[in-house]
Amino acid sequence: MVSFSAQFRRAMAIDQRPSTIDRICFVGFMGAGKTTVGRLVAQRLQRRFVDLDDRICQREQREIADIFRDSGEPYFRRLESECLRSLVQEAAAAGSLVIAVGGGAFVQPSNAALLREHGFNTVFLDAGVEELRQRCASGGPDRPLAHDENLFRQLYEARRGAYMAAEMRVDTGGKTPEQVVEEVLGCRR
């Protein structure tokens, strides 16, 4: 798990960025900070950033909560996989991309395999379930799977094992987004 960070530090020391730094995917549960941290990392690396949920909303011309409500979760998961495949193809053409995926995307084995096959470094942003729930409750987009506290906790526990397959895990608990970015990039002094 440390190899990504160590590789980045070595690359910066010789003023070259290895190709694996060009493709980063942030994974984790809702409220972990994937979009915020992903956007900041992309800025630091001068890479393009795409939030997969935003891409899905653009394609469907409706919000995630509306897709879940009107079309159901199985439809959403198929759509999510299609949009991820499209993003991976864009990265192949462009050479670099930083993406953040929704909480359930990396849990789907085919999506995780797709990211690995196309050279994405996966970074699992984690925090305690109580902190994640507080973050989700404090505003932001409507999160259709966060309404029930017991379901939220069960879903976190069910998904966490899949998230642990990421190359890097960073605990975001009690940290600012900037602190998390420093840890992800291995630039802590």
Residue by residue, what is the 3-state secondary structure of 126-185? Answer: ECCHHHHHHHHHCCCCCCCCCCCHHHHHHHHHHHHHHHCCCCEEEECCCCCHHHHHHHHH
Give the class (CATH, top level) of 3-8+22-183. Answer: alpha beta
Domain boundaries along the sequence of the chain: 3-8+22-183
**How far apart, in Å, are the Cα atoms of 70 and each of 50, 67, 81, 121, 155?**
25, 5, 18, 34, 21
Per residue of the chain (189 residues), give pLDDT as tens.
444 455 544 444 433 333 447 899 999 999 999 999 999 999 999 999 999 999 999 999 999 889 999 999 999 999 999 999 999 998 888 888 999 999 999 999 999 999 999 999 999 999 999 999 888 876 555 665 666 788 899 999 999 999 999 999 999 999 999 999 999 998 543
* Nearest residue to 27 (alpha-carbon basis) of 178, 170, 158, 173: 170
Q: What is the pTM of this model?
A: 0.85
pLDDT reported for residue 40: 97
The structure tokens listed for 164 are: 């642990």
